[in-house]
Structure 1
Amino acid sequence: MSTPSAPDEQGTSTRPYLVRALHDWCTDNGFTPYIAVFVDRLVQVPMEYVKNNEIVLNVGFEATSGLKLGNDFIEFRARFGGVSRDIVVPVDHVVAIYARENGQGMAFPVPTEASSSGAAPRVADAGPAPEPASRGLRLAHAEEAAPEPSGEPPAPRAGWSDDQPPEPTPPSPPGSRPTLKRIK
């Protein structure tokens, strides 16, 4: 009797499963799930909200329509500046998912194409931009650390229902490594 073979020795990526699990955890606990996305030509988002090749998106059910958290893509419709837009994000471009209210979540490495090239492709900056996803988050890291906070004040994020960003937590001292925070 033979055993079913996996696509490769390591199996499929755990990222889509972890994204769905943390989305469910946020939703079950009344938190707002946000994803930080590395943006390149494969990502369909409003480019006027992209800064430093990153966008932070509210993926809560109240802020989205037709949300599909698939193994390969995250797809939904959301309003940006009052205009409904189709959003398509390859799951491997999600660099973090976390709860807006307390910063608990998980960070992931940037896509291999972006990290192996040495520098990410530049995206034109225009209009309001989200704060970097790593600022003030208490993240459990999946494989690598998220980028360091830039020290800039937070900017409004697309999909917020109010005009006030949450209070940022102080950044970790330089050179310190993130630690795993146990979620009960």
Structure 2
Amino acid sequence: MNALESTSTRPYLIRALYDWCTDNGFTPYVAVLVDDSVQVPREYVKNGEIVLNISFDATSSLKLGNEFIEFKARFAGTAREIMVPVNRVIAIYARENGQGMAFPVPVPGGPDEAAPRPSPLSSVPAAGGVEPEGKVVQLVPEGGGTPPETEPPKPPGGGPRPALKRIK
């Protein structure tokens, strides 16, 4: 199987960041680019996007599948069924500190509708790990840190590879 035939990494990354948020006591939010395939309360959609709290406390019957994110939630006291195709999720992040990941915006008619283009993440905070250009970003420790370089540094002189030493 080559890279073009493999499944998307997006649902796996969403599940991983959801777990990271919940394990650290953060509230996981997803930003969704809304179209006809997205089942959300339309009255809460702004600029073609909606941000949803997918925490355990805010949802019921949450399923983070490979194709869809499905759950039940209350909006203004009214129970609603929510169904979001995974390819319409443009970011997942922690509400408390903004750390998370943004994904390429789906392009209608493109392969799997996932060709990269600038993201209109107007409702997602740009600080703390979510890049508004739709780039995948790395989570950094809460105390800060430097973002990764575009290419990892190469060992000087092409010397031997570093090895781990087991200490008992």
| TM-score, length-scaled by structure 2 | 0.70
Please list every run of 5 or more consecutive structure 1 residues that lacks an aligned counterpart in the other structure.
117-130, 147-176
The Cα RMSD (Å) is: 2.6
8 Å CA contact 2:32, 2:49 repeated in 1: yes
The aligned runs of 1:169-184 (5 Å cut-off) are 180-183=138-141
Please list every run of 5 or more consecutive structure 2 residues that lacks an aligned counterpart in the other structure.
114-120, 143-168
8 Å CA contact 2:28, 2:54 repeated in 1: yes
Structure 1 residues 114, 80: closer, same or farther in 2, change over 3 A? farther
- Equivalent in the alignment of 2:75: 80
Tell me, in whole angstroms, the C-alpha distance in 1 between the residues paired with 2:137 and 2:4.
Answer: 28
8 Å CA contact 1:140, 1:181 repeated in 2: no
Structure 1 residues 77, 26: closer, same or farther in 2, change over 3 A? same
The aligned runs of 1:151-166 (5 Å cut-off) are none
**One-letter amino acid of the counterpart of residue 77, structure 1:** K
Tell me, in whole angstroms, the C-alpha distance in 1 between the residues paired with 2:137 and 2:13.
Answer: 18
Residues 55-77 of structure 1 deviation map (CA, whole Å, 9 limit, x = unaligned): 00000000000000000000000
Tell me, in whole angstroms, the C-alpha distance in 2 between the residues paired with 1:100 and 1:59.
Answer: 11
> Post-superposition shift, 1:145?
1.8
8 Å CA contact 2:102, 2:130 repeated in 1: yes
- Equivalent in the alignment of 1:103: 98
> Post-superposition shift, 1:132?
3.0
Partner-residue secondary structure (3-state), 1:34 = strand
> Post-superposition shift, 1:17?
0.2
| TM-score, length-scaled by structure 1 | 0.64
Does structure 1 residue 20 correspond to structure 2 residue 15?
yes
Residues 27-53 of structure 1 deviation map (CA, whole Å, 9 limit, x = unaligned): 000000000000000000000000110
Q: Which has the larger radius of gyration?
A: 2
Partner-residue secondary structure (3-state), 2:43 = helix
Aligned residue among 132, 135, 138 for 2:128: 138
Aligned-residue identity in percent: 59
Residues 81-119 of structure 1 deviation map (CA, whole Å, 9 limit, x = unaligned): 000000000000000000000000000011121888xxx
